[in-house]
Amino acid sequence: MSIHSYAIRSNSKMDSYGVVPPEEGVQFGPYFRLERVIPPLHLEGVLEKFEERSDFGKFAPFRDEIWCELVANEKDWGMLQDDQGEIFSNLSAEERIRIIQGHADAMFLLFRLRGMTQFTVPVELHGSSFRNLSKQQDGTVMAKFRFSQAILFPVIGPSIPKLLDEEDIEWILNHHLTVLQMNQSGDLNFLLDLFDVINFPNPTIQLVQVWAAIESIVKSQSPKTRHSIRSRCAMLLSESKQEIRQLYTHIGKLYDFRCAVVHGTEDFSMGKYLNGLQGTEIVNETKLLFDSFSILKRLVIKVIEKGEMPDSKQLQVLQDNYDNMA
C-alpha cells in the first residue's frame, strides 16, 4: 500500500470555491501532493481493485464530487521517524497508515486556516490514488470511510473560499509539524474535529461551532463571561492599544449575535444566510458569522505560530492587563 490518497469533496469545480488546484498539481514539501481529479470517476473495472468488495460502496457515492486529492507516496517517507523514534519504513502497514493520516489531518486544518475552506474529506484510499484506481492490481486497494465528513455536503461555509497561493503553501509547510505535535499532545483535538465539520449545512449550527471553538481557546470565566471573552480575544490578537480596543468592541457585537441566536431571540435561517451573500459583498447576519469565523481563524493561527495553547493562568494575565490598560 505505497500510495495513500484523501478525497477532497466540493460542491463545485469552480476555482472561486477554492478547491481545484492547477492541472500540474501542488507539491507540499517532500510528503504530499495536491492533485486535480476530473469527475465523474469511472467505475468500470474498479470493483475488483478493492481488498473487500464492500469498500467499493464507500468510494462509489462520491465519484461525482471529488475534485482533487491529497496524495502521499510511501517511498518519500522512508527515513521519517514516528513520535517514538522508529523509522517509518520499519513500521507495520497499520502504523504507516496512522502516521500518514495524522499528517494529512494537520494539512487539512492548515488548508482551512489559509482559506481553502469549502470541502470535506469523506473517504480515503490506501493502495492507490483516486485518479489511478482503475490501473491497480485486483484486490490491492483499501477504502476507509470518514463518517463525520461523508454525511456533510459542503453547500455553505462561514467564509469565502480561496485557492492557496505560494505564501499560503510556505506558511503551511512551516507549521505542519507544529500542528501535528500539538494534535498528538491533545491541544488541537477539539479544533481539528470542529474544522472537519465546519461546513454543516445550517448557519446557526456553524455559528455555534465557531463560538464553541473560540471559547475553547480563551477559556472565559464567569460571572463576566462577555468581558472575559472580549478582552482575552483582543489581547491575544493584537499588541496595539488602539486595535485592542477596536477588537474588544467588535467581538462584543459578534458575541451578542451569538447569544441572541443561541437563546432564541434572533433567527438565523438559511434564507437570512443566503440574503447576506450580495455578490462579493457579505452583509447583515451572514457577515457576523463570517467575521466570527475570521476571529476564530486568527486565534488558531496565533496559537499555532506560538506552538502552544494558552493556559488559564496566561489568559487571566491577559485579561488583567486589558483591565489595567482600559
Query: 44: left (phi > 0), else alpha (psi -120 to 50), else beta?
Result: beta
Which residue type sits at 278? Q
- The residues, any chain, with a CB within 8 Å of residue 174's CB and separated by 6 or more, are none
By the 8 A CB rule, do 18 and 161 touch?
yes
Q: In the prediction, which pLDDT does 272 show? A: 94
Cβ(101)–Cβ(124) below 8 Å = yes
* pLDDT the model gives residue 14: 42
| Residue 118 CA to its chain's centroid (Å) | 9
| CA-based nearest residue to 256, from 246, 242, 269, 266 | 266
Per-residue pLDDT of the chain (326 residues; tens, 9 = 90+): 589 999 998 865 544 334 567 778 889 988 999 998 877 888 888 999 999 989 998 888 888 888 889 999 999 987 776 666 678 888 898 999 999 999 999 999 999 999 888 889 999 999 999 999 999 999 999 999 888 888 887 777 898 888 788 899 999 999 999 999 999 899 999 999 999 888 888 999 999 999 999 999 999 887 889 999 999 999 999 999 999 999 999 999 999 999 999 999 999 999 999 999 887 789 999 999 999 999 999 999 999 999 999 999 999 999 999 999 86
